[in-house]
Amino acid sequence: MDNIKIWLDKIHLTCQQIGHNYVDMIIDQCGVNFSVIPALSGFSPAIKWQSLYQGLPENIYPDDAPLLVRIELEDAQQVQWLYALAREAVATAPLLVLGSSWRFEVLAEWLIRCIDAQHEGRAGIFRFWDTRIFSYLFTHVLSDEQQSQLHRPTLFWSWLDRDEAPVLLEGNGAALGEEELSEQIIFTDNQFESLMCLCDAKQLLVYQPLPKNLFMNRESEFSACFKAMLAATKEGVLFEDKRNEWVAEYILKNKIYSDECGSGVNNL
């Protein structure tokens, strides 16, 4: 079954239903391990795209920047490229697709302000576009106001989860007010710890996978691992050598692999 085609076909249909002849996506160039910029430069008519590091210090490395790209759904060449890129990226950096009625430049500017976050007075990059943790930002990390910041420009977000099931998360997407500006996302210590637990769970499953027969699917596995990482942080088990072992034992001891492990989003 070609899950990527099924997913993107549904996205195409959704865009038609809301009167859009285009769809936007965020490409994680670091995750795909190659620069997409040369390919973007070869289309006629040109594809709209912009680095989401524009105006930030990190933009000195354009080939590593996340890119916002608008695909015209009536352009067969652009659509074909979208499907091919989604297949190439799915293993390491699945695409995050979004529907927005905003002008492209305004949308990009808003998302850049979301990326330019702070913690303890220090600036940092908020890599919200990582689809492997995206849903958990809304269920375990961000405040209601911060969630609104990400949802504000979009009618919907969509991606493929770890089991390649298509997911849809509704946004807001209403017209932007004349003087409306996004607020900088400032993380509390607790929020930052939750983000680190998400990263730790990802790393653990790459380098020290859990027994395969414990979980019904990969999403349940990650959810259980994240829950255990949160517990480890609460218990003060912070160093990697002991932390990973503690997490594995916690999952087995508490049988959280048998829990209902969900991320609070809907299948498309």
pTM comes to 0.92
Q: What is the pLDDT of residue 260?
A: 43
User: Mean pLDDT per segment of 10 residues, for the chain of length 268 residues?
Assistant: 92 96 97 91 93 96 96 97 96 96 97 97 96 97 97 98 95 89 95 97 88 87 95 91 91 69 57
Q: What is the pLDDT of residue 241?
A: 79
Q: What is the pLDDT of residue 208?
A: 83
pLDDT 10s digits, 93-136: 999 999 999 999 999 999 999 999 999 999 999 999 999 999 99
Q: What is the pLDDT of residue 190?
A: 97
Q: What is the pLDDT of residue 263?
A: 52
- Give the burial class of 232: count Cβ atoms within 10 A of its Cβ; 0-12 exposed, 13-18 middle, 19 or more buried: buried
Q: What is the pLDDT of residue 1?
A: 60
How far is it, in rounded angstroms, from Cα 156 to Cα 230? 29
Q: Are 131 and 96 in contact (CB under 8 A)?
A: yes
Q: Which residues of 50-87 are buried (b: 16+ CB within 10 A; e: fewer)?
A: bbbbeeeebeeeeebbbbbbbbbbebeebbebbeebbe
Q: What is the pLDDT of residue 267?
A: 66
Q: What is the pLDDT of residue 211?
A: 82
| SS3 letters across 192-254 | HHHHHHHHHHHHHHHHCCCCHHHCCCHHHHHHHHHHHHHHHHHCCCCCHHHHHHHHHHHHHHH
Q: What is the pLDDT of residue 48?
A: 97
